[in-house]
């Protein structure tokens, strides 16, 4: 019963924040950017909560349990990605978006690349709707799985609950509701991750220390590569470091920089983001390593005990160390990680359809009530598509895990937008043709890698270890650079960025 009390309080809190945010909405600017008045705490915490998702609590703790110290490569990659985004890109992007009065990341791109603006707009909308919807479907599926395994709910009841809660506060509260709830959810995730290894360390009382205990299970857990074939592990580490690319230029992250109140807020927020990433990610890996010592021995298969990828380690540890009321808090923290990403992706897809497609030319003529009505209808429509996709995948493609679709969606968004935005902000010679080539090649390489290269008989295992994002990212950068050299913009269309 205590678990249910915590979950109900959590859902009630989200509803209250959504209601308060809804009362502040007027036009599209409020719905999709919160009136561009975010402070640094909300900006930083909501950015990190959105970028991390459930993979931080379930995936990274599991990775720490399965591979040991080499899981810290994720921490290195995410610190690098967060650092580049906040220290090198946030301020220039904020200034550029202010100059063109952008409501979305696509607005900035159309201002930066006017020559092929219509083509870029079409590619932007199509890829965002596709990859955001797939990623959102994975988060809906994760909600059902968590409520099913943690509370014994029917899977479909859990899916429907998560869908309704997130869609309601997104549809009625818009960006402000998403940012506020993400901020709260980010704090919950941080508290949960910091508390778990501290409690485990205090309760386990390891006489030989953590490292010696891990070495007794498998000495490879203390190496930079981790256990397994060195070539495969080396490729996996490249893929792990590349996770940090998800913070560099992706629209659902950079919307926060577009909506922040001022440059001063960015200067303060960058340190909140860095400290959050360092503490939360390191605590997740450390918790996984402690769990490996607690639940397994040298003779046992960790997959059989800890689940696929070790993703059961966090719920197993919380049940071992905490009373049921605190276990309820951890369930709510996992749901927070899921819902923060789901809500941001849903709103990003909605803004793309509403602002960048259907009402692109007349959005400034829409009244406040018209803007709210259209935005809410589209939010519900896209959420329904994600819900149907989530249930259909579970029914017809049970061999694909939640994380397969989450990685697919995240990689697609990153490969399509991040290389192009990096080149746009740091290279004046980057042309409209180069931008279009970078976007298309990045998106296509994700599809080719996931659906073809990883399925090849002889070399597929290597592409699976590397994941598709590093290859797609490199292909996007290369094609953008080459196309810009071959088809440069005329001087009349060049836009100088700070």
Which residues, 6+ apart, have CB-to-CB distance to 88 below 8 Å? none
CA 408 to chain centre: 11
Alpha carbon of 246 to those of 20, 84, 306, 414, 468: distances in Å? Answer: 30, 11, 27, 6, 13
Q: Is 368 exposed, middle or buried (0-12, 13-18, 19+ CB in 10 A)?
A: middle
Among 287, 300, 288, 284, CA closest to 216: 300
* Angstrom distance (rounded) from CA 390 to CA 406: 11
Angle, CA of 274, 54 and 256, to the nearest 5°: 45
Task: Of 37, 90, 19, 48, give the one whose Cα is nearest residue 340.
Answer: 48
Instruction: Check: CB of residue 136 under 8 Å from CB of residue 349.
Output: yes
Instruction: Give tens-digit pLDDT for 9-65.
Output: 898 999 899 889 888 877 778 888 888 889 999 999 999 998 887 788 888 999 999
Cβ neighbors of 470 (< 8 A, separation 6 or more) are 238, 239, 242
Q: Are 400 and 129 in contact (CB under 8 A)?
A: no
Residue 446's Cα: distance from chain center in Å?
16
pLDDT digits (tens, 9 = 90+) for 372-419: 788 889 999 999 999 998 888 777 776 666 667 888 899 999 999 999
Q: What is the pTM of this model?
A: 0.91
Q: For the CA atoms of the chain, what is the radius of gyration? A: 22
CB-neighbour burial class of residue 323 (10 A; exposed 0-12, middle 13-18, buried 19+): exposed
Q: Which residue has the tokens 């918790």?
A: 287
Backbone φ/ψ region at 475: left (φ over 0), alpha (ψ -120 to 50), beta: alpha
**C-alpha–C-alpha distance, residues 178 and 171, integer Å:** 10
Model pLDDT, residue 228: 81
The pLDDT value recorded for residue 498 is: 45
- Residues composing the chain: 498
Q: What is the pLDDT along the chain (498 residues), one digit of tens a residue?
A: 678 888 888 989 998 998 898 888 777 788 888 888 899 999 999 999 988 877 888 889 999 999 999 999 999 999 999 999 999 999 999 999 998 888 889 999 999 999 999 999 999 999 999 999 988 888 888 888 888 877 888 888 988 998 999 999 998 889 889 999 999 999 999 999 999 999 999 999 888 889 999 999 999 999 998 888 889 989 999 999 999 999 999 999 999 999 999 989 999 999 999 999 999 999 999 999 999 999 999 888 898 899 878 888 998 999 899 998 898 999 999 888 888 899 999 999 999 898 888 877 666 666 667 777 888 899 999 999 999 988 887 777 766 666 678 888 999 999 999 999 999 999 999 999 999 999 999 999 999 998 899 989 888 999 988 989 999 999 999 999 999 999 998 754 544 444
1-18 per-residue burial string, b: 16 or more CB within 10 A, e: under 16: eebeebbeebbeebbebb
What domains lie within the chain, and their CATH numbers?
A: 2-395 (1.20.1730.10)
Measured between alpha carbons, how far is 440 from 128 in angstroms, rounded to an integer? 12
Residue 260, phi then psi, degrees to nearest 5: -70, 150
Closest Cα partner for 407 from 441, 446, 349, 445? Answer: 446
What pLDDT score does 201 carry? 92
């Amino acid at each position: 019963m205590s678990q249910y009390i915590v979950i109900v309080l959590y859902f009630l809190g989200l509803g209250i924040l959504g209601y308060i945010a809804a009362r502040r909405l007027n036009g599209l600017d409020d719905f999709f950017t919160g009136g561009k008045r975010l402070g640094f705490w909300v900006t930083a915490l909501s950015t990190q909560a959105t970028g991390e998702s459930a993979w931080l609590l379930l995936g990274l703790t599991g990775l720490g349990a399965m591979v040991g110290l080499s899981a810290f490569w994720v921490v290195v990659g995410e610190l690098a990605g967060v650092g580049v985004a906040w220290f090198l890109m946030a301020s220039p992007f904020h200034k550029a978006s202010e100059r063109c009065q952008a409501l979305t990341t696509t607005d900035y791109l159309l201002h930066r690349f006017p020559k092929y603006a219509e083509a870029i707009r079409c590619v932007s909308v199509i890829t965002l709707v596709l990859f955001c919807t797939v990623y959102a479907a994975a988060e809906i599926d994760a909600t059902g799985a968590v409520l099913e395994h943690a509370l014994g709910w029917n899977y479909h009841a859990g899916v429907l609950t998560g869908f309704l809660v997130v869609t309601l506060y997104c549809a009625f509260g818009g960006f402000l509701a998403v940012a506020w709830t993400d901020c709260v959810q980010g704090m919950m995730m941080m508290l949960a991750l910091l508390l778990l290894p501290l409690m485990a360390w205090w309760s386990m009382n390891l006489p030989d220390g953590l490292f010696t205990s891990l070495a007794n299970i498998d000495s490879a857990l203390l190496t930079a590569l981790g256990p397994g074939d060195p070539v495969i592990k080396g490729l996996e580490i490249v893929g792990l470091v590349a996770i940090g690319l998800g913070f560099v230029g992706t629209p659902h992250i950079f919307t926060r920089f577009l909506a922040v109140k001022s440059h001063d807020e960015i200067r303060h927020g960058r340190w909140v983001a860095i400290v959050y990433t360092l503490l939360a990610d390191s605590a997740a890996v450390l918790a996984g390593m402690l769990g490996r010592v607690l639940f397994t021995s040298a003779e046992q298969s960790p997959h059989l005990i800890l689940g696929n990828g070790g993703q059961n380690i966090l719920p197993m540890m919380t049940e071992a160390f905490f009373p049921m009321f605190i276990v309820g808090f951890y369930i709510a923290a996992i749901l927070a990680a899921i819902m923060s990403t789901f809500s941001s992706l849903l709103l990003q897809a909605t803004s793309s359809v509403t602002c960048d497609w259907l009402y692109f030319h007349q959005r400034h003529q829409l009244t406040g009530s018209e803007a709210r009505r259209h935005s809410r209808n589209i939010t519900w429509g896209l959420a329904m598509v994600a819900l149907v996709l989530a249930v259909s995948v579970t029914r017809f493609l049970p061999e694909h895990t939640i994380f397969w679709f989450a990685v697919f969606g995240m990689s697609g968004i990153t490969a399509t937008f991040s290389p192009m935005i990096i080149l746009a902000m740091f290279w004046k010679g980057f042309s409209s043709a180069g931008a279009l080539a970078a976007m298309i090649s990045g998106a296509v390489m994700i599809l080719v890698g996931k659906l073809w290269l990883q399925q090849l008989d002889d070399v597929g295992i290597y592409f699976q270890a590397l994941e598709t994002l590093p290859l797609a990212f490199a292909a996007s950068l290369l094609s953008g650079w080459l196309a810009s050299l071959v088809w440069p913009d005329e001087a009349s269309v060049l836009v100088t960025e700070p």
